[in-house]
Structure 1
Amino acid sequence: MASGTAKLDQASKKKGWFPDSLVLIFSLIIVAQILSYIIPSGEFERTPAPFAAGRDMVVPNSYKALETAPTLDPWHFLAAIPRGLEAAQEIIFLVFLVGGVIALLRTSGAIDAILFRAVRTFGGSPAILIGGTLTLFGLGAFTIGMGEEYMPLIPILVTMCLAMKLDSIVAMGILWSSYGVGWATAGTNPFGVLIAQNIAGLPPTSGLWFRIAIFILCLLVAFQHVYAYARKITQDPSKSLVAHVDYSEGFELPSDIAFTWQRKLIMAVFGAGIIFFVYGAQNWHWYIGELNTIFLGVGVLTAIIARMDPNGAAKTFIKGAAEMTAAALLIGFARTIEVVLTDGVIIDTIINAIASLLDGTGPSVSALGMLAVQTITNFFIPSGSGQAFVTMPIMSPLAELTGVSQQTAVLAYQFGDGFTNMVVPTSALVVGTLALGKIPYVQWVKFVTPLLIKLFALAAAILIFTVHFGEYVGFAN
């Protein structure tokens, strides 16, 4: 793990020509203030939303320019940052607490044990290995937004694939396609869909069953792509995209990690907690407060079952929470962009301008336009939670103006964020994991581009479906 982290850090330095996500978002905050001096101020009329108590929705065709508007002080963007952090505090605290609990789960060995056991169990045949691990890794991303946690498994995945006459591209395809699909279709991911639904005024985990169906469809597409490539190189090894790479060293099988009864019990407690929250969210209107409570309960039970020393458990929790600092700051800074645009009274002007471009195109084209915007944004802001706070405050009212449901707007955000997570060069995780697998970025792009085309074609069809038939799958709001 230490060597993996070192390689990840080295990969991060290699992409130093591109600004860090925090630098980019801070720049966008400054741009937002500059725009407040250029863009005319204006407002829409708003009315209480029938589908979300306490939330207002835009009244179409009600935009009016303001004759007088506030002029922001030159240092306003700095004063707005603490307010952005305050506005996003609920999500920020969730990120810290979830990070701490996941660290406890990792320290207990339960997550690594079940993942390593799965890889060994599925290693009997390429089809079972690819299908089984795709499903397992995809579910981790679909439920709690796992991704970085898979990094220690890269060496064993590569080793298993090499032993089965496959290559490291297959191993990386298993990991990254499941991660991308899991994030793009997530139903309970607290770092993605739950944030976007909160901004859109939707009940948490709403539309879950349809998202599960989408998850299965996209996973089948990913399986077809990875398995077809695996069969091709099995029949002709020279067609491997990394045939020129030396894998003679660095990929030895690790010692088996025992899946003890304690670890089985910990995973059962974790699974029960997720199910309990989903049920509570759908039937008792639970949201972040209850999710924090459940995660903390899972963390305490994990420490007890694993017989962790109280001081050691506390240090592990704090370390896990500390590792989420970057994500938490990105969320608060990204939220600041909306604060500045709102203070300058120009956010409605921007929404009205985009809506005017889409006027007359119909909700289907509008939904596809949202997908395009979210996809492009992810190349600059690879943080899913950060992207949600940058784009959803604009996309949510835009959806109201163009006849697109809030659920469809959230789904467009998920697709745009999740699928491109497989390939964005601005992500240290992507570049670092490719380095661990000794895969040149260009070769990876050659492999994943056809898959992305398939997935985006399916995503476009699904978005158009929800526009016309969303009421039948819980996507009417």
Structure 2
Amino acid sequence: MGKDKKKRASLSAFSILYIILLVLAVITWIIPDVQNATLGTIVMASYNGFSNALDVCFFVLVLGGFLGIVTKTGALNAGITHLVKKLKGNELILIPILMTLFSIGGTTYGMSEETVAFYGLLAATMVAAGFDSMVGAATVLLGAGVGVLGSTVNPFATGIAIDSVNKSFEELGIQSSVNNGVVIALGIVLWLSSLIIACAFVMSYAKKVKRDKGSTILSLQEQEIMNTEFSKKDTDVEVAYTGKMKFTMGVFAFGFFVMIISVIPWDKFNVTIFQGWSSFLTGAAIGEWWFGELGMWFFIIGLIIAFINRFTENEIVSAFMEGAKDIMGVVLVIAVARGASVLMGETGLDKYVLEHASKALEGLPAFAFAPLSYILYALLSFVIPSTSGLATVSMPIMGPLAQNLGYNPAVMVMIFSAASGILNLFTPTSGVVMGGLASARIEYSTWLKFVGKLLAMLFIVNLVVLTVGMMIL
């Protein structure tokens, strides 16, 4: 078995992304109705991707520095060890609890890029609990991912989609609008069904690994990296968890709590409690923060933790730089992944695919229209991995198309959400997927092998729910 795993050496995330860039460029030369990608377009794609994703890259880099400071205190390792000891014999319960929490973030406000912070942390936690780093990565990626898949009130997915359809109806003179109740109801069904399936899948794998370490899906090289980076403490050895460490972890948890509430668009839910007073720190109120504000927030929290632990100026700088260095690979992967979508936008390849595919769906019955629309949106999500970007570009076309064919446009909104959500669980053009896996030190090919069966199950369940919805609503 060891030899077989050794043979599974695979291309790095960078190689995969650059191959995709080249393939997309070649496609633009074959298709006559799009602008051909030039050598300059290809060469500058990574730079343009970095420029386009600068806010995300800044956030991740500062977050790495912040985690470097926290790691130097020893509180993180001691806290993980303490948690695992508390759950001795019940470690498996961590998986559904954490996946549910991440999925709530996904379905309500589209929690995605923010999760990059948790991959390394949960990889270490799950390894300490007797599982492997794949369980940690899957808990984050699948937890938040199935939440986004079944978006209910997510303003960056269903919110923008509904708004785009309603505006297109007004422009076309169509006396109709999207039924929010249908969107939320379908979203809840998709969210909960997908969450239950994903939790059961990850827990089944985790139990197998805990029972027999040789059953891990990780290659020997990945196991060596996991043991080096995420198995630094023996959980059977007594580790002091001091009052200062507990206070440090309290500040650490508070930092992430503020991160979560600060990106929820409270005004969309008519919540005004944070308006005005909460803008004193960054100039933007809680609920209006994005990656710039989040990066500086974690920088400040890092300094507070360093002060609590009485670090010298040299220790602060050294720990921050060490943490930033460790996560630089993730930053570069995110930049290159964004470069692929930038190239497609510059050449018009994204709009070409959308326009021609939507024409092919005209006149189809509901039992064919729903699954084919789902497949179309899955393909479009590869071209445009941003849910808000895809909604803005596609829904003014697909919403009226569904309405004109006599189908409920609210179901089309959920077809977009579910298809985009399932593809963003594995597409290499997603900076979250590639960056998260890089942070957990897991190869992309290993992730595909792990998640393949789950994707097939989710695909079938989603298709059934959406097709029935299209036929009866």
Query: Which category describes the TM-score, using the shorter chain as reference length?
Result: 0.5 to 0.7
Deviations 1:194-224 (CA, angstroms, capped at 9, x unpaired): 998999899xxxx999989977765544555
Indicate the structure with greater helix content.
2
- Structure 1: distance between partners of 2:25 and 2:196: 45
1:413 matched residue in structure 2: 420
Query: TM-score, length-normalised on structure 1?
Result: 0.60
Distance 1:279 1:209, change over 3 A: farther
1:84 matched residue in structure 2: 49
2:21 matched residue in structure 1: 29
Is 2:287 aligned against 1:289? Answer: no
Q: 1:41 aligns with which of 20, 29, 33?
A: 33
| 1:159-174 mapped onto 2 (5 Å cutoff) | none
Distance 1:400 1:313, change over 3 A: farther
Distance 1:208 1:358, change over 3 A: closer
1:147 alignment partner, SS class: helix
* Per-residue deviation, 1:131: 1.8
- Structure 2: distance between partners of 1:92 and 1:197: 26
1:267 matched residue in structure 2: 252
* Per-residue deviation, 1:94: 2.0
Q: 1:316 aligns with which of 292, 315, 319?
A: 319
Query: TM-score, length-normalised on structure 2?
Result: 0.60
1:131 matched residue in structure 2: 93
* Per-residue deviation, 1:277: 0.9
- Structure 1: distance between partners of 2:395 and 2:161: 10
Does the 8 Å contact 1:40/1:349 carry over to 2?
Answer: no
Length, aligned pairs only: 381
Distance 1:199 1:297, change over 3 A: farther
Structure 1 residue runs without a partner (length 5+): 1-9, 43-69, 159-167, 188-192, 243-249, 378-385, 435-440, 471-477
1:100 counterpart letter in structure 2: G
CA RMSD of aligned residues (A): 5.3
Q: 2:65 aligns with which of 87, 93, 100?
A: 100
1:349 matched residue in structure 2: 352
1:183 matched residue in structure 2: 144
1:323 alignment partner, SS class: helix
Does the 8 Å contact 2:21/2:42 carry over to 1?
Answer: yes
Is 2:251 aligned against 1:255? Answer: no
| 1:239-254 mapped onto 2 (5 Å cutoff) | 253-254=235-236
Q: 1:277 aligns with which of 246, 262, 269?
A: 262
Deviations 1:408-448 (CA, angstroms, capped at 9, x unpaired): 64553333333799xx99997799779xxxxxx89x97x97
1:246 matched residue in structure 2: none
Deviations 1:269-320 (CA, angstroms, capped at 9, x unpaired): 2244224414566565332232223222322222222333332222222222
Distance 1:210 1:232, change over 3 A: same
Does the 8 Å contact 1:99/1:323 carry over to 2?
Answer: yes
Q: 1:147 aligns with which of 119, 125, 136?
A: 119
2:330 counterpart letter in structure 1: A
Is 2:408 aligned against 1:402? Answer: no
- Structure 2: distance between partners of 1:88 and 1:334: 9
* Per-residue deviation, 1:39: 1.5
- Structure 2: distance between partners of 1:31 and 1:267: 43
* Per-residue deviation, 1:186: 5.5
Q: Percent identity?
A: 18
Is 2:77 aligned against 1:116? Answer: no
Structure 2 residue runs without a partner (length 5+): 106-110, 149-153, 164-182, 217-226, 272-286, 400-408
Does the 8 Å contact 1:151/1:433 carry over to 2?
Answer: no
